């Protein structure tokens, strides 16, 4: 197995929303904001090569939304999904599987593109797209609170083109690639759990969007069930600590991955890592 970091650029989100009830006087030391209270966040995906399988985990924001839409999130940086794939020697046609942790636009926007005829089509024509059965229904029939995060043009073309398959809690797509399903951030978000070089790496998605979210109480205001997130984070981190898991962060601007350590203040970052160094 080989792992490749796939950087798709950065965007901006409100710092208060990202840290919930944590005061700005505390969180701004972790991720300083601009004059509009916006902080910089990565959209870091992961590519898993195993035999003849190339599995892309999440797809970033994509580039097909309107100028008005992008003005809210101010994407920036030189990296794109296509550029990062090509940098590692791959093309969209090579991808065999796209694993979608959940269907919020910053995680699945790159899954669909617009063709020359103005039609929405899957960006990876030869791939099977994996979603959780419960989460898919949640996303295509969204509640008012999350509706703005679930864009039909990011989602429906996958099923319409016959490329969608469903997973359930904990299900594998192949030996050594399973998922941990959590319910606090949104309904049935899947965290890929990968066995790699005798280590376990977990792609944390939005359970732990950054290393700055390791403290249990640092829960995003975006979470639909924040008290459930508290329970899930504590259980997850205790298991990660006991089993020496490595954590991979999708949204941390600087830190790609880390090991963790138990301290008097709780579980915290031990060593910063890159998958290329593991």
**CATH number of the domain that residue 57 is part of:** 3.60.15.10
Q: Is residue 263 part of a domain?
A: no
Q: What share of the chain is helix, strand, coil (3-state, %, to 5)?
A: 30, 30, 40
Give the residue from 247, 11, 244, 206 showing the smallest Cα distance to 104.
206
| 187 within some domain | yes
Q: Can you list the positions of beta strands (E) in the chain?
A: 2-14, 38-50, 53-57, 97-99, 112-114, 120-122, 128-132, 164-167, 177-182, 189-196, 199-203, 246-248, 257-263, 266-273
Contact residues for 32 (Cβ-Cβ < 8 A; gap 6+): 39
Residue 201 sits at the vertex; the CA angle it makes with 198 and 206, to the nearest 5 degrees, is: 170
Q: How far is CA 45 from the centre of its chain?
A: 7
Q: How many domains, in total, are found in the chain?
A: 1
Does any domain span residue 208?
no
Residue 149 placed within a domain: yes
Cα distance between residue 84 and residue 87, in whole Å:
5
Give me the pLDDT at residue 213, please.
98
Mean pLDDT, 10 residues at a time, the chain of 278 residues: 98 97 95 96 98 97 95 96 97 98 98 95 98 97 95 97 96 96 98 96 98 97 98 98 98 98 97 94
| Alpha carbon distance 37, 92 (integer Å) | 36
Q: Is residue 206 part of a domain?
A: no
What's the pTM value of the predicted model, to 2 decimals? 0.97
Classify residue 174: in a domain, yes or no: yes
Nearest to 139 by CA among 102, 166, 175, 109: 102
Directed axis angle between helix 152-160 and helix 133-140, to 10°? 130
Predicted local distance difference test score (pLDDT) of residue 201? 98
Predicted local distance difference test score (pLDDT) of residue 152: 96
Report if residue 118 sits inside a domain: yes
**Total Cβ atoms within 10 A of residue 81:** 27
For residue 57, is it within any domain? yes
Token representation of residue 38: 């916006």
> Residue 174 sits in which domain range?
2-201
């Amino acid at each position: 197995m080989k792992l490749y970091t796939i950087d798709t650029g950065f965007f901006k989100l409100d710092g208060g929303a990202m840290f919930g009830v944590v005061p700005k006087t505390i969180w701004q030391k972790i991720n300083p904001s601009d004059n509009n209270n916006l902080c910089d966040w990565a959209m870091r995906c992961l590519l898993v090569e195993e035999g003849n399988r190339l599995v892309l985990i999440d797809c970033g924001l994509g580039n097909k939304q309107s100028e008005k839409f992008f003005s809210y999130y101010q994407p920036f940086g030189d990296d794109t999904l296509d550029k990062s794939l090509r940098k590692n020697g791959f093309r969209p046609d090579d991808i065999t599987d796209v694993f979608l942790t959940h269907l919020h636009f910053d995680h699945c926007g790159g899954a669909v593109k617009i063709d020359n005829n103005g039609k929405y089509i899957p960006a990876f024509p030869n791939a099977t797209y994996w979603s959780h059965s419960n989460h898919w229904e949640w996303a295509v029939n969204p509640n008012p609170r999350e509706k703005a995060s679930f864009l039909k043009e990011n989602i429906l073309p996958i099923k319409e083109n016959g490329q969608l398959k469903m997973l359930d809690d904990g299900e594998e797509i192949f030996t050594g690639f399973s998922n941990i399903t959590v319910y606090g951030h949104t309904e049935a978000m899947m965290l890929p759990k990968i066995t790699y070089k005798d280590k376990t790496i977990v792609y944390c998605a939005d359970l732990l969007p950054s290393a700055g979210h390791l403290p249990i109480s640092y829960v995003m205001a975006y979470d639909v069930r924040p008290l459930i997130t508290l329970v899930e984070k504590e259980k997850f981190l205790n298991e990660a600590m006991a089993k020496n898991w490595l954590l991979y962060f999708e949204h941390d601007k600087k830190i790609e991955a880390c090991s963790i350590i138990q301290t008097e203040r709780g579980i915290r970052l031990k060593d910063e890592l890159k998958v290329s160094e593991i």
